[in-house]
């Protein structure tokens, strides 16, 4: 079968590999669609500290169950599924307090073990979620990015009527926007430096958009909020240098959700945090958010296909990577169609 294999940083190809076999508690999934994520790009470029090489990447995918292991119950051949990439031990401190997404021995499908950019992938049966009939396999490949949004919003603990500011109108910014609107947040400010992305944010329901390379965002947002600042700020730009601005833009008692994986330090002025009693939260992957996202998707409150800019075959992975590297403004979510 064909698979997109990263042998080492910058060394990748679509290769012929053996079809894997499902262990007793695993299922074999014939992958229909898999989305390319920024974190796949980090793996390809060698700036993901967690990955082990060689690796078949891809943690956003959906497909049809092809085979099940001997001890699998409740998942059957022919079932349409998407897959939670988080594999946790269930025993360590974070697992014991209900935070399996930061398990001490966390394994992520597509990072620590092979993922969805291949014709068939084996995954633990426990990570499989059944799809409601009217969710397509293309839309289902986007459930995972929405779980990122659900997780960061959960970490930020919105109150009714809270304003939200999202830095970055890429795919994750847009999943946070849609998820926030679905959860009843009414006012969402989105910033980015690419006007095409801001136009998408506006279409999807952002109430205010600002190009931060053309506007003094700090001044505009403080004016918009009568100087109070914004209670909820989600960093989907993942630029550490923006943290001081986030501290200044947060309202007293505000919550800032951080998603970036950068190793660059940020300048953090303690007084800003203390005087406003700000909460800074990290958000990693998702803590059992698949059912919630599937429910919102099934009820039509999310519009995943609006985020898809390209559908390409697996053989086009190298050119898709080239586009995402050199012409990111042309792309939103790139879906790789593997079977279907
Ligand atoms: Mn992702």
Could you read off the pLDDT of 102-143 as tens digits, one per residue?
Answer: 999 999 999 999 999 999 999 999 999 999 999 999 999 999
Checking 183-189 for CB contacts under 8 A at 24+ apart, the result is 183/153, 183/158, 184/160, 185/158, 185/232, 186/161, 187/163, 188/163, 188/164, 189/163, 189/164, 189/165, 189/221, 189/224, 189/230
Cα(144) to ligand 1 centroid in Å equals: 6
Shortest CA distance to 282 belongs to which of 106, 101, 122?
101
Cα(334) to ligand 1 centroid in Å equals: 11
- How many whole angstroms separate alpha carbon 151 and alpha carbon 261? 16
Shortest CA distance to 64 belongs to which of 117, 1, 137, 169?
137
Residues at Cβ < 5 Å from ligand 1 ion: 37
Q: What is the DSSP string of 99-140?
A: -GGG-TT-EEBTTTB--SSBSEEEEEGGGEEEPPTTS-HHHH
- Sequence-distant (6+) residues with CB within 8 A of 332 are 170, 171, 174, 197, 200, 307, 308, 309
Cα(59) to ligand 1 centroid in Å equals: 6
Tell me what pLDDT residue 49 has: 81
Task: Name the stretches of the chain with pLDDT < 50.
Answer: none
All structural domains of the chain: 2-141+303-337 (3.90.180.10), 146-282 (3.40.50.720)
- pTM higher than the cut 0.95: yes
Cα(60) to ligand 1 centroid in Å equals: 6
Cα(227) to ligand 1 centroid in Å equals: 35
Cα(110) to ligand 1 centroid in Å equals: 10
pLDDT tens for 16-73 read 999 999 999 999 999 999 999 999 999 999 988 888 899 999 999 999 999 999 999 9
Cα(306) to ligand 1 centroid in Å equals: 17
What phi and psi values does residue 300 have, to the nearest 5 degrees? 80, 15
Task: Determine whether 59 is exposed, middle or buried from the number of CB atoms within 10 Å of its CB (0-12, 13-18, 19+).
Answer: buried
Cα(322) to ligand 1 centroid in Å equals: 18
Question: Where does the chain show beta strands of DSSP type E?
Answer: 2-8, 11-16, 26-36, 55-56, 61-68, 80-83, 86-87, 107-108, 120-124, 128-130, 163-167, 187-192, 208-211, 230-235, 250-258, 279-282, 308-313, 333-337
- How many whole angstroms separate alpha carbon 21 and alpha carbon 31? 14
Tell me what pLDDT residue 340 has: 63
Cα(276) to ligand 1 centroid in Å equals: 32
Tell me what pLDDT residue 337 has: 98
Cα(336) to ligand 1 centroid in Å equals: 14
């Amino acid at each position: 079968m064909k698979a997109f294999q990263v042998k080492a940083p910058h060394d990748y190809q679509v290769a012929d590999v053996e079809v894997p076999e499902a262990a007793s508690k695993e299922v074999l999934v014939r992958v229909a669609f898999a989305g390319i994520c920024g974190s796949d790009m980090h793996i390809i470029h060698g700036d993901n500290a967690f990955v082990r090489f060689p690796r078949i990447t891809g943690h956003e995918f959906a497909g049809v169950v092809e085979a099940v292991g001997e001890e699998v119950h409740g998942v059957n051949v022919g079932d349409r599924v998407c897959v939670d990439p988080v594999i946790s031990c269930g025993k360590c401190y974070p697992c014991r307090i209900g935070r399996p997404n930061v398990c001490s021995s966390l394994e992520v499908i597509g990072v620590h073990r092979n993922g969805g950019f291949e014709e068939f992938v084996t995954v633990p049966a426990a990570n499989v979620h059944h799809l409601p009939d009217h969710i397509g396999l293309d839309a289902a490949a986007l459930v995972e990015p929405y779980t990122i949004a659900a997780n960061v919003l959960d970490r930020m603990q919105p109150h009714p009527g809270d304003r939200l500011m999202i830095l970055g109108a890429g795919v994750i910014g847009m999943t946070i926007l849609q998820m926030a609107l679905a959860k009843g947040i009414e006012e969402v400010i989105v910033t980015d430096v690419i006007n095409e992305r801001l136009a998408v944010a506006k279409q999807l329901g952002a109430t205010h958009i600002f190009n931060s390379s053309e506007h003094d965002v700090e001044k505009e947002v403080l004016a918009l909020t009568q100087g109070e600042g914004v209670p909820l700020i989600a960093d989907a730009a993942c630029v550490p240098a923006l943290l001081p601005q986030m501290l200044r833009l947060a309202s007293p008692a505000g919550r800032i959700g951080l998603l970036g994986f950068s190793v660059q330090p940020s300048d953090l002025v303690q007084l800003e945090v203390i005087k406003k009693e700000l909460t800074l939260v990290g958000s990693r992957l998702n803590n059992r958010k698949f059912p919630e996202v599937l429910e919102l998707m099934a009820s039509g409150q999310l519009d995943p296909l609006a985020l898809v800019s390209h559908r390409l075959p697996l053989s086009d992975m190298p050119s898709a990577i080239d586009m995402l590297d050199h012409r990111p403004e042309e792309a939103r979510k790139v879906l790789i169609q593997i079977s279907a």
